[in-house]
Structure 1
Amino acid sequence: MVASTNNAKSSLSLVERQDALRRLINQQSRITVAQICELFSVSEATARRDLDALAELGEIQRVHGGAVAVRKAPPEPPVLQRAAEQAEFKQRIGRRAAELVADGETIFLSSGTTAHEVARHLRGRQLTVITNSLLVINELSNARGISLIALGGSFRRSELSFIGHITEQALTELRADKVIMGMRAVDPDEGLTNDYLAETQTDRAILRIGRQVILVADHTKIGRVATAFVAPLDAVHTLVTNREVPPEIVEAFEAKGIQVLLA
């Protein structure tokens, strides 16, 4: 039975084989080159070409020795609703990212629950903090030693943040030693994406003001892709995430020159 099945698969056309391969990866989440060779009776070179072709179309994500499924990021609930989600991981990430900040620096903190955790761990420091997040403003408004620059703009109620033209204009007047930023989805191939188109230009303006960009995202955001493209991966210098990220995904980021810190 196995032999007849393999013979049937070996007679598939290129399009049919790649479509079957795509469906198989989506069903079982990952596959190796060796498994493809056995299942489809093809050479390693052919298996790799098939994977490369599917990866170029954004259908899968290539990893060392094979591929994994590209996971679409689900719609993001409001920020206050997300506060309790992955709380332990966000706390660890916030603490680790705060350790990267030196006294006397000027940093930008974005909106989002993970960036808010970074703010919690900056209390008691001597810093200048720029932010468009109402959560961060409230967290640091009475923190001695922190000079707070709050950006206005169009208020996004679900995120408790300020975005849009006024925010972006203010950002052109500012520079930061470090930008610490959350993101809806981060993928080694697809880069930084979010699910709110109106925020995309503001995110890009934020990325431009930092000499160093530190992305903070828990494992549920890693290896996922959302609707709106924000920036390629090379806009980021460091990714701070938690240890639950699969090793092959960490390796994929590091292969692109990104420093990955696991909290």
Structure 2
Amino acid sequence: MDVIPLSNFERQQAILTLLKRQQRVKIAQICEEFGVSEATARRDLEALASQGLIQRIHGGAIPLHPAAPEPPLLERSQEQAEEKARIGRLAASLVQDGETVFLGSGTTVLEVARHLGDRKGLTIITNSLPVINLFAGKENIQVVCLGGILRDSELSFIGHITENALSEVRADKVFVGVRAVDLEHGLTNDYLPETMTDRAILKAGREIIVVADHMKCCRVSTAFLAPLTAVHTFITTLEADQSFISALQELGIRVLLA
């Protein structure tokens, strides 16, 4: 017996059900599941996106929900811990002896710091209290601490004092973490008062390296930080969506997978 094709509405509702179950759907999967052309699949996604029901990403869609607010630093330290360790190891391998490196706040950047212990002659610039504590007393490493207002949940310094200090320093490499990375909306974080400090950090070095586990890809948070054109290197993990990675590479961003 022939299968009765679904109406546009029925098919779009089925796509929503699919998204709820697996959190991501690709155009190729829609074509295979429902026996439709790529053009029809794209129209379905565009229709759902225009109703505010999904978020379009390169090659497919994800559910329409922003990145959740970040829990405190210590609470986050166990989230995606294995991925963050892989990212930290790979990111640290980019640092050469004698370089000046900026290390931002957050658990992923802290993993980068933990893998720099064998480098010699480094100058570490940071607004992160855990990074300061990690390198305090280490031989052959000079630590430049940026003062400011201590953000208790993140254990980082922010505000105009921090920003003024950032205007006085330059790093060979800047390592920063973000709450969310999206092709359309760029880099976003979830704490508006920190935005100006984050932007000042991106002006403090020659190479901007963003480190983020795959859960932060194709997500949007509250505070716009910078467009993707501000990023030179993006380090994430093999679990990241390949179409998203390919789109970053097409923008000229070097992508490294841990």
Give the TM-score taking structure 1 as reference length: 0.84
Q: Pairwise CA RMSD of aligned residues?
A: 2.8
Residues 27 and 41 in structure 2, CA contact (< 8 A), matched pair in contact too: no
Q: Report the CA distance between 1:109 and its aligned residue.
A: 0.2
Deviations 1:7-45 (A, max 9, x none): xx35x7xxx998x6984674352141673698597x644
Partner of 1:156: 151
SS of residue in 1 equivalent to 2:142: strand
SS of residue in 2 equivalent to 1:114: helix
Instruction: Name stretches of at least 5 consecutive residues in structure 2 with no aligned partner.
Output: none
**2:62 matched to 1:78?**
no
SS of residue in 2 equivalent to 1:158: coil
Partner of 2:238: 243
SS of residue in 1 equivalent to 2:198: helix
Give the TM-score taking structure 2 as reference length: 0.85
**Amino acid in structure 1 at the alignment position of 2:173:** K
Mapped partners of 1:45, 1:141: distance in 2: 58
Deviations 1:133-177 (A, max 9, x none): 000000011111111100000110000000011111111111111
Number of residues paired by the alignment? Answer: 252
Residues 148 and 162 in structure 2, CA contact (< 8 A), matched pair in contact too: yes
Written as runs of structure 1 = structure 2, the 5 A alignment for 1:117-156 is 117-125=111-119, 126-156=121-151
Deviations 1:232-260 (A, max 9, x none): 11111111112221322222222222211
Q: Report the CA distance between 1:189 and its aligned residue.
A: 2.5
Partner of 2:203: 208
Mapped partners of 2:169, 2:229: distance in 1: 22
Written as runs of structure 1 = structure 2, the 5 A alignment for 1:11-90 is 23=16, 26-27=19-20, 29-32=24-27, 35=30, 44-45=38-39, 47-48=41-42, 51=45, 54=49, 59-64=54-59, 66-69=60-63, 72-90=66-84
**2:90 matched to 1:96?**
yes
**Amino acid in structure 2 at the alignment position of 1:190:** H
Mapped partners of 1:219, 1:211: distance in 2: 25
SS of residue in 1 equivalent to 2:101: strand
Instruction: Name stretches of at least 5 consecutive residues in structure 1 with no aligned partner.
Output: none
Q: Report the CA distance between 1:184 and its aligned residue.
A: 1.1
Stretch of structure 1 that moved more, 251-260 or 133-142: 251-260
- Shift in CA distance, 197/95, structure 1 to aligned 2, threshold 3 Å: same
Identity of aligned residues (%): 54
